[in-house]
Structure 1
């Protein structure tokens, strides 16, 4: 997206609000009723929520009654990653296994004690070590386990073998959650095909409003004994409090658009991503694309140019009118070493320079050209400094 010659390539942090979604949000904001009220105004608000619930469910192949709205992906993950998440009539998990490259809302937001948590390693491409997972599950006896594996990494775009992991976990009798925040709307996501018990979503990653997310359960045979927000019976008791009708309606609208355009947008964005990646390799032949050998989201690539620090590069790109990221946006806006790259074994000298390009519905070929022009200037300045210092 170019606004005043600016190019926005940070859709994995937030994808700008779609105009069609903004219209839905504005209309819903003007509804006077509380969705818990039985009068006509309340029923109108309730209808907006239930229509959105159906649209979000369709995006991931779920049933609408199993969608629970939250304030975002972080709250959604915090809600389900707890010893209190269990099948009806069964005891909850006593152990939590987390992928080493998970989002901070999973690594830091779960509600298990530290001694009950173990980390599943990833290989040099960022792919979960399924052999380790299988051996570990076979070695923990009768311990009840909950496993959390993201569907696609927010920093590198690497897609995880969630269905394979789910088969291993089910064979052990455990539960499995996948953080599908980055994957939904970019690649096909089907709850049954993945074989997971629960997945979590966020609206602003697909052109919806910020501050809305969802827990999506595989069936209605689950409960959460220790819910985060207690009070009234909203969201079937999973999450109390008056619903954010406007944000929920916007989330539904964004989910409907994302599903309708899924195949065409994936093809379009992968073409633009590959073009941008080719520009980087042309401009800096020694550039390293992280996870290049793995399956990745069609809109994402992370790269490093030896000798170029991320903090310096982000400022330079920003001054050139291009918005990029150095990784997760959920780190207080600071450029810091990435736990994802550390888990992949990327050398610190290289990981300190990794930049993320993430495209989306606003991205055009002109944006890719402007990115390439900015990259040439940034790299040219770097090499001029190297030459003068030599």
Structure 2
């Protein structure tokens, strides 16, 4: 019998852990749960929702759980953050060149409507240029939104947010946001200490249920958030509609579990990544790790295989039971080079030759050793057989 597939695409999504599945199932079996109802079942729903908010708040250092707005995921949370001001010619929006599409596409749409969009370059390690940020802030229009990711989904690069954002509010009023979808649960995340006003997170990236995420703000005060939907007063009117209590409970359980095992889980992830990178470089000395000189998530390895078609490698590995990705977008069925790697200065050929491997706490040392052997063998066989 063939060996079970080895899933190394945890930055795309993860499988809920047993505790998460149990919490979600129990909430679904608990009966009708609508927090807007005035009767006892509504009170039960509100109680479960409050607990879930507390559990999310604990993991991200939010002192005011009521400042958490539950969304359908990170994409909605990012879009809500960027809609903090009406799109008009008084707004400057600052983002980095390596943001997720759920930040870049709304930013581009805003620019088409007259917003002053500034896209910050990054260096060869994927880190935002502080001088470019300072210049963008000093020449911004009346309203200012800055959105810089906490961690990159493709390379794992961690931006030094407190250092980058220090002093912005001392210079002028600004709304500071970070896409923390990849960071939450993998590195310490403390919204109070980070310098941001709001951060986005997603449940299915950290072994929670799909279809649930959150926009977390520092408090419920002056954050200039605007609803994108209308029709109710739920969640302070920012995200109307009946709250998905079972999904919130599942997300809370995932956050609570990661907080309780945080140091152990992070150490496990780092050991797996380091074991993989070391083993692969021993087997294939010519490979390189993109952004290896920058601070990175403990679970992410973006590997460049010289003279190898990364798309072909991903496909062959899938046939052999290794599930990974290139982390690049696809347009009309035509593969595109990663915008993240291009922004870091890689050529299109180098970007096409790169593959992302992302580990979860469900992976084992034995799986990693087996993956190294299969990846090295497959990449060696593909070397030189490129379409360019």
- Residue of structure 2 equivalent to 1:113: 111
Partners of 2:330 and 2:336 within 8 A in 1: no
Deviation at 1:138, TM superposition (A): 2.3
- Residue of structure 1 equivalent to 2:92: 95
In 1, the alpha carbon distance for the partners of 2:39 and 2:280 equals: 59
Deviation at 1:102, TM superposition (A): 0.4
Aligned runs of 1:61-80 on 2, under 5 Å? 61-62=61-62, 63-80=64-81
Structure 2: runs of 5+ lacking an equivalent: none
Aligned runs of 1:176-195 on 2, under 5 Å? 176-195=176-195
Q: TM-score, normalised by structure 1?
A: 0.92
- Residue of structure 1 equivalent to 2:27: 28
In 2, the alpha carbon distance for the partners of 1:330 and 1:222 equals: 39
- Residue of structure 2 equivalent to 1:60: 60
In 2, the alpha carbon distance for the partners of 1:308 and 1:187 equals: 32
Deviation at 1:163, TM superposition (A): 0.9
Partners of 1:82 and 1:112 within 8 A in 2: no
Structure 1: runs of 5+ lacking an equivalent: none
Number of aligned residue pairs: give it: 379
Corresponding residue SS for 1:155 = coil
- Residue of structure 2 equivalent to 1:374: 374
- Residue of structure 1 equivalent to 2:346: 346
Deviation at 1:165, TM superposition (A): 2.0
Partners of 2:308 and 2:383 within 8 A in 1: no
Deviation at 1:336, TM superposition (A): 2.5
Corresponding residue SS for 1:222 = coil
In 2, the alpha carbon distance for the partners of 1:40 and 1:331 equals: 50
- Residue of structure 1 equivalent to 2:83: 82
In 2, the alpha carbon distance for the partners of 1:139 and 1:374 equals: 52
Partners of 1:224 and 1:238 within 8 A in 2: no
Gap change, CA 1:351 and 1:103, over 3 Å in 2: same
Gap change, CA 1:52 and 1:147, over 3 Å in 2: same
Deviation at 1:105, TM superposition (A): 0.2
Aligned runs of 1:322-333 on 2, under 5 Å? 322-327=322-327
Partners of 2:166 and 2:195 within 8 A in 1: yes
- Residue of structure 2 equivalent to 1:159: 158
- Residue of structure 1 equivalent to 2:356: 356
Deviation at 1:43, TM superposition (A): 1.4
Corresponding residue SS for 1:119 = strand
Partners of 2:329 and 2:335 within 8 A in 1: no
Bigger mean CA offset, 359-368 vs 328-337: 328-337
Partners of 2:287 and 2:303 within 8 A in 1: yes
Partners of 1:92 and 1:144 within 8 A in 2: no
Partners of 1:85 and 1:225 within 8 A in 2: no
The C-alpha deviation readout for 1:248-272, integer Å capped at 9, x for no partner, is 1100000111111121111121111
Partners of 1:324 and 1:356 within 8 A in 2: yes
In 2, the alpha carbon distance for the partners of 1:40 and 1:298 equals: 45
Gap change, CA 1:225 and 1:193, over 3 Å in 2: closer
Q: TM-score, normalised by structure 2?
A: 0.92
Corresponding residue SS for 2:146 = strand
Deviation at 1:223, TM superposition (A): 4.8
Partners of 2:328 and 2:339 within 8 A in 1: no
The C-alpha deviation readout for 1:24-65, integer Å capped at 9, x for no partner, is 111111221312112111211221111101100111100211
RMSD: 2.3
